[in-house]
Structure 1
Amino acid sequence: MKNAWFDRVEVLPPYAGYPIHRGWYATRDGEDVVAYTITPKRPNGHVLFYLRGGTGRIGDVRLPRLMQFAARGFHVVAPVYRGNHGGSGKEDFGGADLEDVLSLYDRVRRTDTFIHALGFSRGGMMALSLAAERPLTSVTSWAGVTNLEWTYEEQRSMRKMLRRMTGGDPEAARAAYVERSPLYKDWEAPTLLIHGTDDEQVRLRHATAVAERMGERAELWVVPFAHQLPFWEKWKTTEEAMDWMLAIAQKND
């Protein structure tokens, strides 16, 4: 764990022998945000931003998930976004809370060069938006939201929350939806898109539209599952994604 990344740090009990820390950091817009880190036993020299999905406690950071990356040598950094785990402010679903990721990235960049981002679902939107704002060694969107207007169409249960955060529905507040949507952004980082054929929460079109737009700069892995993969398939696909990240880094070094 690198203290330069945080304003204050709490040491947590180790998980499976891996050092765990909870850190607080100030964002440029004045919020106090929490992130978790797992320090690898055998560092590979790469940092991985793990960007969670969901909101609040739904889709929250889980240490067993982070440990798989640390076991391969990644120094894992997982912000939980403003308003969570004792942090200040309120989540904004890819709007103002994108600054939570950008501010932490800028701190990490002072000490590390090889920085990857992987985001799941809502976190895929955050990861690709980070890539549009900052240089990354690679970026992976797993079942990621890329067009928030489509999410409004697909998820009736989220419409009230999205109207509250954006100021209206996609017709009334289209600029807010476009601003949050990676489909309308540009980035240079090598990109991996992982998506299930049967995903009803974030439809496959979110990935295929980005892949079509980016061409050879993006790699698309379509898997025959829904939003969540069975445990062993998820484990195997994660291992393959890390292989891809390290191969990309070696190729471009």
Structure 2
Amino acid sequence: MAGGLKVKGLLAEPKNDKKYDGFLYLRGGIKNVGKVRPGRIVQFASQGFIVFAPFYQGNQGGEGNEDFAGDDREDAFAGFRLLQSHERVKNVHIFGFSRGGVMALLTGIHELEAASIVTWGGVSDMFLTYEERKDLRRMMKRVIGGTPNKYPERYEYRTPLYELDRLDANVLIIHGAKDQNVSVEHAYRLEKRLKELNKNVETWYFHEFTHYFPPAINRKIVRDLANWMKKQTE
């Protein structure tokens, strides 16, 4: 249950009775673009986490309608609490990819017990997304209700940069400098704002990569970020 709606998601947990840290996986895209893939979830679970990935409202049989980091942020908040209440979960970390970056930051701002936050190729500024992604403007106007000029407050509501003073968790930013889907400027703006607020932030910038990293590099970064998360709770 998220914001009064029944929302579906995917849970992956190691087959034993041990306790693990929880891993909230927040997908990118919208609707059928960027769907939760079981293989990806298993990849994170195999690093020693109990992973939950909400599909977001309106997807794969869930109630409601996804609205690009508007009310569907409730799905992420509810996913965080679901992991917290899991009898085998110790701490809960938050991971967001692409549009999931905004969701991860909003969740960390709302759920102050978050153990850490990782944003990979993540959106941090919804105004910038509208500006850069001409191909998404039609969808954004439909889902958000208009342009940033007409409804700046709706875009501000979906931009966590304005509320980062409320964030407690340490943040890791991973971004490819050649990313055309979510420009590296999103990462730079996030890093700059966190540093201005004296928050703990680490950055892994990859100058040769786009939004999608080669499989072998991807697997290595998954291992590295899993280790980084675990260090935050040592």
Relative to the length of structure 2, the TM-score reads 0.92
The answer for the alignment partner of 1:19 in structure 2 is none
The answer for the alignment partner of 1:41 in structure 2 is 15
The answer for the alignment partner of 1:176 in structure 2 is 154
Q: Please tell me whether residue 189 in structure 1 is matched to residue 164 in structure 2.
A: no
Unaligned segments of structure 2, at least 5 residues: none
Contact preservation (8 Å) 1:145, 1:202: yes
Q: Among residues 198, 202, 216, which one is paired with 1:219 in the alignment? A: 202
Q: In structure 2, the residue corresponding to 1:32 is in which secondary structure? A: coil
Q: Aligned-pair distance for 1:113?
A: 4.1
User: Root-mean-square deviation (CA), in Å?
Assistant: 1.3
Q: Aligned-pair distance for 1:197?
A: 0.5
State the alpha-carbon separation in 1 of the partners of residues 70 and 141 from structure 2: 13
Q: Among residues 186, 190, 211, which one is paired with 1:210 in the alignment? A: 190
Contact preservation (8 Å) 2:19, 2:90: no
Amino acid in structure 2 at the alignment position of 1:103: A
The answer for the alignment partner of 2:26 in structure 1 is 51
Q: Please tell me whether residue 67 in structure 1 is matched to residue 45 in structure 2.
A: no
State the alpha-carbon separation in 1 of the partners of residues 28 and 59 from structure 2: 13
State the alpha-carbon separation in 1 of the partners of residues 170 and 191 from structure 2: 11
The answer for the alignment partner of 1:90 in structure 2 is 65
Q: In structure 2, the residue corresponding to 1:48 is in which secondary structure? A: strand
Contact preservation (8 Å) 2:52, 2:83: no
Q: Aligned-pair distance for 1:106?
A: 2.3
Amino acid in structure 1 at the alignment position of 2:95: L
Deviation per CA, 1:41-94: give whole Å up to 9, x if none: 365520000111111111111111111111121001000100001011110100
**Aligned-pair identity (%):** 36
Q: Aligned-pair distance for 1:183?
A: 1.6
Relative to the length of structure 1, the TM-score reads 0.85
Normalized per residue, the structure richer in strand is 1
The answer for the alignment partner of 2:216 in structure 1 is 232
227-236 vs 98-107, which moves further:
98-107
State the alpha-carbon separation in 2 of the partners of residues 40 and 122 from structure 1: 27
Contact preservation (8 Å) 2:35, 2:55: yes
User: Residues 232-251 of structure 1 correspond to what in structure 2 (within 5 A)?
Assistant: 232-250=216-234
Contact preservation (8 Å) 2:22, 2:84: no
Higher relative contact order (CA 8 A, sep 6+): 2
196-205 vs 40-49, which moves further:
40-49
Contact preservation (8 Å) 2:23, 2:92: yes
Q: Aligned-pair distance for 1:190?
A: 0.5
Q: Among residues 127, 135, 150, which one is paired with 2:128 in the alignment? A: 150
Contact preservation (8 Å) 1:121, 1:145: yes
State the alpha-carbon separation in 1 of the partners of residues 85 and 54 from structure 2: 17
Amino acid in structure 1 at the alignment position of 2:2: T
Contact preservation (8 Å) 1:146, 1:182: yes
Contact preservation (8 Å) 1:50, 1:76: yes
State the alpha-carbon separation in 1 of the partners of residues 26 and 200 from structure 2: 21
Q: Please tell me whether residue 122 in structure 1 is matched to residue 99 in structure 2.
A: yes
Amino acid in structure 1 at the alignment position of 2:51: V
Q: Aligned-pair distance for 1:207?
A: 0.6
State the alpha-carbon separation in 1 of the partners of residues 171 and 27 from structure 2: 18
Contact preservation (8 Å) 2:95, 2:118: yes
